Amino acid sequence: MKNFYFSFDEDDIKYKKVAIHLKAMINNHELIHGEKLPTIREYSKLLGVNTSTIINAYELLQNEGYAYKKMGSGTYVKKEEQKNYILKEYSNTYKKLTRGNLENFIDFTGETTSSEFFPVDTFKKVLNEVLDRDKEDAFIYQDALGYKGLRKSINKHFWNNKMEIDDILVVSGAQQGIDIITKAIINVNDNVVIEKPSYSGAMNVFKWRKANIIEIDMKKDGIQVEELEKILQKNRIKCFYTMPYFQNPTGVTYSFEKKKRILELAEIYDFYIIEDDYLSDISYDNRVEFKSLKSMDTKDRVIYIKSFSKIFLPGIRIGYVIPPQKYSDKIQTFKINTDITTSSLMQRALDIYIRKGLWKQHIKNLNLEYKKRYEFLIKECNNLLKDKVQIYDTYGGLSLFLKIQRKDVNCIKLFEYCKDNNVLITPGMLYYLNSDDGMQYFKIGFSKVDTKAIHQGLMVINNLLKESE
């Protein structure tokens, strides 16, 4: 139990003394940003003072920027520097990890498939095939749209030849897709709707573009559509950024009805949908039939983005975009202005890889392997963390987004504790516009951990969460 208790001297102004005591705890890091303070009733009882003393003390803390109130929930510690410190610490630890400086860490931050599944030998053969076949041509600047052969393969393999190959724009990964689409269609102060929570890499791009970002809560079958309608009735919306399958971070998959309704709304209220298909390939439920918004889109409202890096070879840096006719030229121009063109050799190799059916086989293998890990993770969470976290079954993707049930542990505390025990998780605050909203959440990515590591990692998390309050 934290040391909230102290005794008063005779001439103390009581509410001030309470505030001073709490401020000392905050400055000593005994209390951290986002942590809940005792309720007024509890604390007044503990100190033997009137409730008004605590009320006044909390108000003082609020005025001095040490606390904030959540309606109907209580008062929480606010310490912006501390929050920024955590963000920096997360990013530094993550950097160390990717540089291979933290070899004994259990890495729950993985967003891409594990290198053990990389089809290196096959891809090497394919690369050499390209070099022998195309020689110099493998290195020339490609058509700004991307290598024609690859666009043909994408159209055939992923779209049953229903697209025009000139509608497909090859990009250097999905992040670049988001970047150039933002440049092409979003202006300063434009309204952009995103899911709450959402992918920070996209939020950063919209923020940087100085767009006005509006979050809509995610439910178990997609965003609250009524909420979207309300917003549309009052505001001019430029676009809606969504990940309809295994949404990052929640893992939620949209229902068919919601997708249909959102497409209708896009037409009625004249906005565009940026569909980030970042991981639909990794699905553990055979009954789920994949149906992208783009494939349902009869009114040319969807800007589709596909990443190949996350599920294939992260280092390959290839993805593609299918924009609506209206924005086709503009998006292509911004692609040229951003990096001219995407690696030519890699495009040619990926083309052969897809055409030979190797891609399909690779995805099949991944699904088998990751299904095992997913099922193990769900089982272990239910064994170890039941009642300590809220678990949501995703039936796909490479991560779980969990809610910490205990009010006195937030994601910062969990992050710090895990790090001290050689485990790296992603704090939920990263996925919210206002990081306070994500204080009780954290993400467990299982793409880079085997079952043994999953078990060990969850044990560490359990150690913190099981401690008596």
Q: Which residues bind its own copies (CB under 8 A)?
A: 95, 98-99, 112, 115-116, 118, 120, 123-124, 127-128, 131, 135-144, 148, 172-173, 175-176, 179, 183, 188, 201, 204-205, 208, 210, 309, 313-317, 333-334, 336-346
Three-state DSSP class for 231?
helix
Distance separating alpha carbons of residues 218 and 135, to the nearest angstrom: 50
Instruction: Return the number of the residue (345 or 384) whose C-beta is nearest its own copies.
Output: 345
Distance separating alpha carbons of residues 396 and 394, to the nearest angstrom: 5
- Nearest by Cα to 272 from 253, 293, 245: 293
Distance separating alpha carbons of residues 265 and 301, to the nearest angstrom: 10
Instruction: Return the number of the residue (361 or 382) whose C-beta is nearest its own copies.
Output: 361
Distance of CA 77 to the CA centre of its chain: 25
CB of 80 vs its own copies, minimal distance in Å: 19
Instruction: Return the number of the residue (12 or 143) whose C-beta is nearest its own copies.
Output: 143
CB of 173 vs its own copies, minimal distance in Å: 5
Per-residue tokens: 468: 């008596």
CB of 252 vs its own copies, minimal distance in Å: 24
Total residue length of the chain: 469
CB of 423 vs its own copies, minimal distance in Å: 20
CB of 84 vs its own copies, minimal distance in Å: 13
Instruction: Return the number of the residue (341 or 440) whose C-beta is nearest its own copies.
Output: 341
CB of 442 vs its own copies, minimal distance in Å: 21
CB of 281 vs its own copies, minimal distance in Å: 17
Instruction: Return the number of the residue (10 or 141) whose C-beta is nearest its own copies.
Output: 141
- Nearest by Cα to 351 from 141, 157, 175, 176: 157
> Residues 6 or more apart from 40 whose CB is under 8 A from it?
51, 54, 55, 58
CB of 131 vs its own copies, minimal distance in Å: 5
DSSP-assigned letters across all residues of 293-346: HHHH-SSS-EEEEEESTTTS-GGG--EEEE--HHHHHHHHHHHHHHHSS--HHH
Instruction: Return the number of the residue (74 or 201) whose C-beta is nearest its own copies.
Output: 201
The kind and range of the H/E element at 399 are strand 399-404
Instruction: Return the number of the residue (181 or 461) whose C-beta is nearest its own copies.
Output: 181
CB of 411 vs its own copies, minimal distance in Å: 21
Q: Which residues pair with 402 in a beta bridge?
A: 442
Q: Torsion angle, CA of 254/257/258/263, rounded to 10 degrees?
A: 120
Residue 439 · residue 70 · CB < 8 Å: no
Backbone CA torsion sign across 169, 172, 177, 183: negative
Q: Tell me 135's DSSP state.
A: G
- Nearest by Cα to 32 from 105, 72, 89: 89
Instruction: Return the number of the residue (86 or 265) whose C-beta is nearest its own copies.
Output: 86
CB of 71 vs its own copies, minimal distance in Å: 34
Instruction: Return the number of the residue (3 or 337) whose C-beta is nearest its own copies.
Output: 337
Distance separating alpha carbons of residues 39 and 23, to the nearest angstrom: 17
Instruction: Return the number of the residue (297 or 351) whose C-beta is nearest its own copies.
Output: 351
> Residues 6 or more apart from 1 whose CB is under 8 A from it?
469
Per-residue tokens: 449: 């951990």
